[in-house]
Amino acid sequence: MEKAPPEEPSSFSSKDDSDPSLAGTADPPESPMAETKKEEEDETSTVLEKSIEPEKEETNEAENPPAEDGADGEEKEEEEGEGEGEGRGSDGDDAVHSFGKVIEDIDGVLSFLAAANAEVETATAVLEGHQKRSVQRLLDLVQARALNYIVDSQEAKSVWGQCPDDDSSFLQAVARVSKLNSSLDPSKWGERSGDLINRVGSIHHQAMAFLADEFRSLLEDCKPIITSDEDNADVPPEQEDHPDHQITDKDSDRALRYPHEIVSNLSKIAREMMAGNYETECCQVYVLMRQISIGEQLFMTGFEGISIDDVQKMPWETLQHEITKWVEALKQSARVFFPSEIKLIDGVFEGNSETSAYLFHGLTIGFMVQLINFAEAVAISKRAPEKLFKFLDMYEAMRDMEPVLNGLFGEYDEYEFIKLEMVTARSRLGESTVSIFCDLENSVRSDTGKNVVPGGAIHPLTRYIMNYLELTCEYKETLEQVFRDHLKIERADSNNRSEFQGSGEGYGNYADPSENHSQFSIQIGKIMALLDTNLEAKSKLYRDTALSSIFMMNNGRYILQKVKGSREINELMGDNWRRKKSSDLRHCHKTYQRETWNKVLGCLRDDHGLTVNGKVVKPELKERFKSFNAMFDEIHRTQSLWVVCDEQLQSELRVSISAVVIPAYRSFLGRFSQTFTPGRQTEKYVKYQSEDLETYIDDLFDGKKKP
């Protein structure tokens, strides 16, 4: 269809503006697009002509002089229009004038109907001839324009918005049809107006169906524009309420903004459909189309609805990826998608708060149920230590987004069960988290393997528990909340102290739980105490007491360094624990030196057996050097294979050994080496020089076999 140029708006003008149906006439008007109408429409016009003729005869000049004058005027206008029709093309001014005249006449008819409905109580009221003609003229215009839209839409997805003046005129006309439809009560206007009333209802339904189609097409075209907060930072405060800036979410990393022109057109159509008592149809179309859009947005996060059975069967490697997607979907829904949808609904259904709330609930409830069902499915899945952190991620996401979602849904009654389901799902995740974390006690307690770690190195259990606790303490605040909530549930269920509170006996600094120690910190203390007990038992598996001490030093030092390296664990364990642990390490160090080097140093003592009456007992001296050489060789051979993982501890051990052995040996050697005959005898018994000892001591604890 060719559009009239902007300077000559052709609102509601047909393709041939000279059509006499657009001018006033004393006879019933013909359709402006008679050549394209269906046969039943022609039949309806014929019936209308017959029904109007008697009314013309009944019209009395004295009773209703303005109507007769108006009819004469309309006849003149029609004659003028027919006379000029062949001599001009599409005259925009005349089209606007014709449309304005029709609207003016209909407003008069509506005023008449309002007055008549207020006064007439029986079925005696009759529309006058010129009033019927005005109504027919309006119906023809609406029907013709709708047909033009339909023809144009065959070439484009949606023609709405291409000519705003035409759209506005069409909506004005539809608004009058809606008012006529609600005002023409068959019980009051009798059988003589029945055909007209039927046609009004039919055209009204056609117009609403057409608007619903256009509404659907516009919603298909209403795609979100993703922007960042920086994009909205320059929006002046006075423009924040402007529709163009209305569909944004400034509280999120991403905001969705919808084209102002489309939102404005949607709002106009929605307003007319609701005014025409087609609110239900309008809402149905909106919910259907927007559900598709929100579903696409959620799909972009990677999350797809997964059944409870599928979650139970899914391998953990796959499920943990799905959990990551779920967390993102929940956060984006609460921070971006849902707030943006609220603003879009408010923009389209402006001033209808109840409708907006109803639509938002209808749109989002299904997605919320999907998200909650997934959380509950994960919560009841098989528990394992490696699942703890993903469970905590889900718990935190639900906890943090819950107030956001509550703010979005407000006090809407239908959302109450969603609130309850969210609380229930989060509680189940919390209970699963407590169960998994407390199973860590059982893991430590049940690790009773009899195999020793070669070289006294760090036991795998120590590494696992400390790394696990280090990661766990990154969720310290969340876990404290989880244990706190769990304790409330336990107390509510049994009025007894929670099994996780316990008496605390035998757990170091946590023997007497107080308000300063959270349930989580008490649980950490229990696990640490159990780990120490387990390691002490494992150290007894070593036959060599010195190696047992090295094992305890390795594991104790690793634990201490892990605690110091984690601010959260450090705060939980406290200064007293650190001082005690350091003391235990010093004790192990002394035990090692005593068990390993005291016998060696015994060879270097100048006691009574080595000298008699001031003279050196040479055989005894030889035995002393032989014993020292043998013991030092054995220590070097075995303890070079031992492992001290911490470089600082390794250095401290070597330095402490050198500090006691080398000075004693140097002194002994300086005093008695001259006793031997220089040459072969000296080389036989004096195997090491002081510098040699230092070199060999530096080979200790590196876990390598020496030649």
Lowest-confidence segment of 238-247, 319-328, 359-368 by average pLDDT: 238-247
Task: Supply the pLDDT for residue 177.
Answer: 85
In this prediction, residue 196 carries a pLDDT of 78
Residue 393 has pLDDT above 90, yes or no: yes
Spell out the domains of the chain, with CATH numbers in brackets: 12-83+93-153+160-210 (no CATH), 246-410 (1.20.1310.30), 447-588 (no CATH), 604-697 (1.20.1280.170)
Residue 53, pLDDT > 60, answer no
**Residue 513 — pLDDT band, cuts 50, 70, 90?**
very low
- Which pLDDT band holds residue 597 (cuts at 50, 70, 90)? very high
Selection from 564, 385, 566, 535 nearest residue 458 by Cα: 535
* pLDDT at residue 637 in the model: 93
| Spatial separation of the C-alpha atoms in residues 276 and 181, rounded to whole Å | 8
CA–CA separation, 392 and 593 (whole Å)? 46
State the Cα–Cα distance between residues 604 and 685, nearest whole angstrom: 14
137-185: per-residue pLDDT in tens?
A: 888 888 887 777 666 555 555 667 778 888 888 888 888 888 888 777 6
**What tens digit of pLDDT does each residue of 237-288 get?**
444 443 333 333 344 446 688 999 999 999 999 999 999 999 999 999 999 9
Kindly give, in sequence order, each residue whose CB lies less than 8 Å from that of residue 11, ignoring residues fewer than 6 positions away: 95, 96, 99, 165, 166, 168, 169, 170
Quote the pLDDT of residue 126: 52
Q: What is the pLDDT of residue 562?
A: 94
Most confident of 166-170, 207-211, 557-561: 557-561
Q: What is the 3-state secondary structure (H, E, C) of 546-562?
A: HHHHHHHHHHHHHHHHH
Q: What is the rounded distance in angstroms from the CA atom of residue 48 to the CA atom of residue 119?
A: 26
Q: Cβ distance 629 to 696 under 8 Å?
A: no
226 confidence band (pLDDT: 50, 70, 90): low
**Tens of pLDDT along 426-461?**
999 999 999 999 899 988 999 988 899 999 999 999
pTM recorded for the entire structure? 0.72
> Would you say 657 and 704 are in contact if contact means Cβ atoms under 8 Å apart?
no
Rounded Cα distance, 252 and 331, in Å: 10
Highest mean pLDDT among 56-60, 227-231, 419-423: 419-423
Can you tell me the mean pLDDT for 199-211? 88
pLDDT at 15 over 80: no
pLDDT value for 478? 94
Mapped onto helix, strand or coil, the DSSP state of residue 455 is: helix
pLDDT score of 422 more than 60? yes
> From the centroid of its chain, how far is CA 139?
50
H-helix segments, 155-278: 164-183, 186-189, 194-221, 229-232, 260-275
Tell me the Ramachandran region of residue 277: left when phi exceeds 0, alpha when psi lies from -120 to 50, beta otherwise: left
Please answer whether residues 173 and 208 qualify as being in contact, where contact means their C-beta atoms are separated by less than 8 angstroms.
Answer: no
Helix 353-379 vs helix 416-446: crossing angle, to nearest 10: 20
Answer yes or no: is pLDDT of 357 > 80: yes
- Tokens at 618, concatenated: 């040479």
Q: Are 421 and 372 in contact (CB under 8 A)?
A: yes
How far is C-alpha 201 from the chain's CA centre? 47
pLDDT at 101 over 70: yes
Q: Average pLDDT for residues 517-542, to the nearest whole number?
A: 92
Q: What mean pLDDT comes out for the span 120-148?
A: 69
Q: How far is Cα 152 from Cα 130, in angstroms, rounded to an integer?
A: 33
**Alpha-carbon separation of residue 524 from 136, 384, 447 (angstroms):** 85, 18, 18
Q: Which two tokens stand for residue 391?
A: 């469970």
- Closest C-alpha among 86, 87, 68, 74 to residue 21: 74
Q: What does the pLDDT average to over 621-641? A: 92
Q: Which two tokens stand for residue 678?
A: 């220089």
Residues 68-87 have a mean pLDDT of 38
Q: Is 302 left (phi over 0), alpha (psi -120 to 50) or beta?
A: left
> How far is Cα 644 from Cα 554, in angstroms, rounded to an integer?
6
DSSP 337: I
CB 371 within 8 Å of CB 326 = yes
- The residue behind tokens 């991620």 is 393
Let me know: does 378 contact 394? Beta carbons within 8 Å.
Answer: yes
Q: Which residue has the tokens 């020793």?
A: 452
- Average pLDDT of the residues of the chain: 77
How do residues 657-667 score in pLDDT, each as one tens digit? 999 999 999 99
More confident residue, 540 or 304: 540
52-57 own/partner pairs: CB under 8 Å, 24+ apart: 52/28, 52/129, 52/132, 52/133, 55/126, 55/127, 55/128, 55/129, 55/132, 55/192, 56/26, 56/129
DSSP notation for 62-99: TT-HHHHHHHHHHHHHHHHHHHHHTT----HHHHHHHH
What residues contact residue 150 under an 8 Å CB cut-off, 6+ apart? 210
84 pLDDT higher than 70: no
Average pLDDT over residues 323-351: 92
DSSP one-letter string for 19-51: -GGGS--SSPPPPTTGGGS-HHHHHHHHHHHHH
**What per-residue confidence (pLDDT) applies to 450?**
87
Worst-scoring range by mean pLDDT, 28-42, 259-273, 332-346, 645-659? Answer: 28-42
Tell me the C-alpha distance between 85 and 81, whole Å: 6
Position 614 pLDDT exceeds 50: yes
What are the start-end ranges of the E strands in 608-652? 611-612, 615-616
How do strand 615-616 and strand 611-612 relate by DSSP bridges? antiparallel
**Distances 375 to 43, 296, 510 between C-alpha atoms, Å:** 63, 21, 34
Q: Please tell me the predicted confidence (pLDDT) of residue 516.
A: 58
For residue 468, give Cα distances in angstroms to 381, 553, 573.
Answer: 21, 21, 15
Which has more pLDDT, 213 or 80? 213
Number of separate helices (H) and strands (E) present in the chain = 25, 4
Distance set, CA 180 to CA 28, 116, 145, 299 (Å): 19, 13, 18, 46
Q: Cα separation of 482 and 433, whole Å?
A: 8
More confident: 510 or 215: 215
Q: Where are the beta strands (DSSP E) in 507-622?
A: 611-612, 615-616
Q: Which long-range contacts (CB under 8 A, 24 or more apart) does 502-510 make?
A: 508/577, 508/580, 509/573, 509/574, 509/576, 509/577
Q: What is the pLDDT of residue 44?
A: 36
Average pLDDT (670-683) is 73
Confidence of residue 563 (pLDDT cuts 50, 70, 90): very high
Residue 394, pLDDT above cutoff 90: yes
Tokens of 368: 């919320």
Q: Token pair 């169906």 is at which residue?
A: 209
- Tell me how far apart the alpha carbons of residues 7 and 93 are, in angstroms, rounded to a whole number: 10
How much is the pLDDT for 167? Answer: 84
> At 512, is the secondary structure helix, strand, or coil?
coil
Joined tokens for residue 104: 């003016």
The answer to which of 114-128, 250-264, 603-617 has the lowest mean pLDDT is 114-128
What is the pLDDT, as a whole number, of residue 76? 39
Residue position matching structure tokens 């007209």: 196
The whole-angstrom separation of Cα 33 and Cα 149 is 13
pLDDT number for residue 661: 94
Identity of the highest mean pLDDT range in 46-60, 64-78, 406-420: 406-420
- Of residues 245 and 317, more confidence is placed in 317
